[in-house]
Structure 1
Amino acid sequence: MEGSSHRTLARGIAILETVAEAPDGSTISELAAITGNDKSTTSRLVSSLCDFGYLTRLPDRRVVLTGRVLRLTRGFQAQFDLQKVSRPVLTELRDRVGESVILTIREGNFSVSIDQIDPERNFRMVPHVGNTAPLDATAAGRAMLFALPAPEQQRILAAIQDEPVEHPEVRLTPRTLQAEADKARRRGFVWIQRSDDVERVASVVLDTLGAPLAAVSIYGPRYRMRDRIDELGRECKQVADAIGMLARGQRARDSRW
């Protein structure tokens, strides 16, 4: 009986997720085809979800979500703590690479650092928590910027072009934006070079819809990082992917997490 209840619950959740991804709603036939259930089972599950108030049928019989789903969204916003979810994974990353690890989020056209974990070494990064910067000016900001649709990237770039930055040589232009974004996609991480003696690599954390949720960065002195850029970039991407899975309620693929 328990196994049957589990399967029913899993099928119901699959239907909700499928409807949520369809801009114009779904028919019973479409839901059955996508979820792998027969039409009779799909129809019963949809009826139950309509009874609970999470789905409704339009006059053309297409099935759509209702406002009740917003209760789940409000609960998520109140309960979900990205910093708390990420910290154990970021701490392990710090221990493996021996450099500072920073978690950054996007606020409009800017990046904001919300957590930093430093190694016990003689040379450590100055505190970054609370720092803001235009999205194109840091590795973390670029990682999130490059995950956005191209028109949104161009809009943001135009909006921030006059924002002051500490290192103007890192600013992107409409001409360099696409080339740098393509380079980051091939690598799986962003490596941004500035005129100081610090190296930084970053990788984006994606949410359920593939939008940028945050970015993970590794910072350290050039003399320690310059020969490890590819290795550190791969580590960054693995951890960013793991945090994304944890944020989506999935178990990270890496057994360490």
Structure 2
Amino acid sequence: MTTPTRPNASLEGVASAGRALTLLSAFRKGDDAVTLAELTARTGLVKTTVMRLAISLEEHGYLTRLPDGAYRLGAELFRLGSVYQQSFRVEAYVMPVLERLVAETSESASFYVRSGEHRLCLYRVDSPHRLRLHVRQGDMLPMDNSAIAQVLRIFGAVPLPPEAASMEVPLYTGGERDPHVAGMATPVFGPGESFAGALCLTGPVTRLTRQAAEDASPSLLGAAAELTRSLGGLGLAAGR
């Protein structure tokens, strides 16, 4: 008699974990509470699967079920977010650099890291101008063709692609994500040759023109070099 073959338990666990992460990722910026029906629609999972996963996530503090049956992200995610930011240990170094860049250029300065197929604005100081790009710390933007995304994609690759060795930085793009917005970005490195993130300036294309970007390049490159040294990096040439 042939013994029925049991599914691979480890593969089942991976699939279950993947569905749980899909459920958490279904929450969007601006959500307060999300109904079961909406979570089902966003994830493509059946209601019974969403309910089963939600029970487990609620037990571990990742979700909170409200009296009306809707769900809200739990406090454990806030704790992990705090741990995530602290793990970089760069805020004390980054924020003064961003503030000085804004003072020197009058454009908004930011520090981005890559998160999957998105770029995460980890730290930001806004331009004093009333006309500026409204991005906040914690905002997730697509990995598009902007200068910021290109720096994250190229210099964050392991191993570095051949074009990184000859690439002139900072990169400048105008109108890639928004026809009214321009940006310039350069890589920052951490301990050894590890890539830390992208340091950038953004502003309206009418003000941050290519000529204005060239004028601001020394400030941005100097800030990136200083931040790289502060983080224990070996500099752009070594990072290549």
| Normalised TM-score (structure 1) | 0.50
Residues 107-146 of structure 1, C-alpha deviation per residue, up to 9 Å, x if partnerless? 2443210111112222122123222234444322211222
Return the alpha-carbon distance in structure 1 between the equivalents of residues 157 and 214 of structure 2.
26
Does 1:102 pair with 2:86? no
- In structure 2, what is the equivalent of residue 133 of structure 1? 141
Give runs of aligned pairs for residues 26-175 of structure 1, distance below 5 A. Answer: 81-149=89-157
Counterpart Cα distance in 2 of 1:246 and 1:94? 19
More helix by share: 1
Q: Which amino acid aligns with 1:243?
A: L
Shift in CA distance, 149/215, structure 1 to aligned 2, threshold 3 Å: closer
> Is residue 192–residue 233 contact of structure 2 (8 Å, CA) maintained in 1?
no
Partner SS state of residue 102, structure 1 = strand
* Alpha-carbon shift at residue 151 of structure 1 (Å): 5.9
The answer to whether the aligner puts 1:191 opposite 2:175 as a matched pair is no
After superposition, the CA RMSD in angstroms is 3.1
Aligned 8 A contact 2:94 2:123 in 1: no
Gaps of 5+ in 1: 1-76, 154-177, 251-257
CA contact (8 A) 2:154 2:160 kept: no
One-letter amino acid of the counterpart of residue 209, structure 1: G
CA contact (8 A) 2:192 2:232 kept: no
* C-alpha spacing 1:146/1:249, structure 2 compared with 1 (3 Å): closer
Structure 1 counterpart SS, 2:217: helix
- Describe the SS at the equivalent of 1:90: helix
2:119 and 2:143 in contact (8 A); partners too:
yes
* Secondary structure of 2:214's aligned partner: helix
Deviations, residues 70-95 of structure 1 (Å, cap 9, x unaligned): xxxxxxx9675212221111101110
Matched, 1:231 2:212: no
**8 Å contact 2:174–2:205 — kept in the other structure?**
no
TM-score, with length taken from structure 2: 0.53
Q: Which runs of 5+ in 2 are unaligned?
A: 1-84, 235-240
Aligned length: 149
Q: What's the counterpart of residue 163 of structure 1? A: none
Counterpart for residue 30 of structure 1: none
Q: Which residue of 1 aligns with 2:72?
A: none
Distance 1:213 1:115 in 2: 13
Q: Which stretch of the first structure deviates more once superposed, 124-133 or 193-202?
A: 124-133
Alpha-carbon distance in 1 for matches of 2:183, 2:138:
18
1:200 aligned to 2:208?
Answer: no
Q: Is the 8 A contact 1:202 1:233 kept in 2?
A: no
Whole-angstrom CA distance in 2 between matches of 1:186 and 1:151? 15
In the superposition, relative to structure 1, how do residues 126 and 80 fare at CA in structure 2: closer, same or farther (>3 Å)?
closer
